[in-house]
Amino acid sequence: MEESRRKFLTQSLQTLGLCSASGLIWGAFLDEAKSDPLILRPPAALSEDEFLKKCIRCGLCVEACPYETLKLAAPGDKKPLGMPFFEPRKIPCYMCEDIPCVPVCPTGALDEKSVTTNGELDINLSRMGVAVVDEKSCIAFWGIQCDACYRACPIMDVAIKLEYKKNERTGKHAFLMPVVDSDFCTGCGLCERACVTKKAAIYVLPRSVALGEVDSSYVKGWDKSDEARVSEAKKKIETTEISKQKPVDYLNDGGL
């Protein structure tokens, strides 16, 4: 009796130990394998954390994509295994109006609601990433006329605008510089695909990587909607009492 109990306990302990040991290795692998901060997801994808949880890796979005933009990460791609992503320099998202890739998602990892207004799909609401310009390698910033990205943008003049500035070097030409408005950029990458430089001077990054975040204490006082954030705020005035002593006394009373 005693012997069999001891055997049972030892074996249980052994099992637990083996599970923990393999769990540690497996866990270390998972921690590495799940993180790729620069990955671009299909339209309407949940935040990366939630997406990693929900995506079941069925590839229905990939099959629905008519441009072969989306791919499932295969071993060797060094991206979270089996999940959809795209590389705009190779094939960008062509922003289909009926967004075929989203409604087919069975798990809700691609959230149809996030690209729907008034019951209609609107691809312009998608936020796959945001385009960023490297001014040093953008030839428009050198003064050479190029508006490839601007013309490629499906929301031209909204998501990418051209900013004009006098070219002081020549004195008679203008810079026509592409500027991205991150409020409207969907991150489709058509600009990155169109960029004429050897390595794209405009490229899409995940919004979580490229965009900053302002502390809530900064308020745009000139913007009514932003100002509304503090309309409920209670005024709190703190004053420090001015010393009644005269400076002369204060300096001469030996306290210093």
- Chain residues in the site for another protein (CB under 8 A): 15, 18-19, 22-23, 26-27, 29-31, 33-34, 49-50, 52-54, 56-60, 62-63, 71-72, 74-77, 80-82, 104-108
Nearer to another protein, 8 or 29 (CB): 29
Q: How far is the CB of 55 from another protein (least distance, A)?
A: 9
188, with CB counted inside 10 A (0-12, 13-18, 19+), is buried
The set of residues, in sequence order, having a beta carbon less than 8 Å from that of 237 and lying 6+ positions away, is: none
Q: How far is the CB of 10 from another protein (least distance, A)?
A: 14
Nearer to another protein, 106 or 163 (CB): 106
Q: How far is the CB of 65 from another protein (least distance, A)?
A: 11
Residue type at 179 in one-letter notation: V
Nearer to another protein, 50 or 163 (CB): 50
Q: How far is the CB of 56 from another protein (least distance, A)?
A: 5
**In the chain, which ranges are continuous DSSP H helix?**
2-33, 48-54, 60-64, 139-142, 148-152, 190-194, 207-210, 224-227, 247-252
Nearer to another protein, 56 or 209 (CB): 56
Nearer to another protein, 19 or 196 (CB): 19
Q: How far is the CB of 8 from another protein (least distance, A)?
A: 14
Under 8 Å between Cβ of 125 and 115: yes
Distance CA 128, CA 207 (A): 8
SS3 95: coil
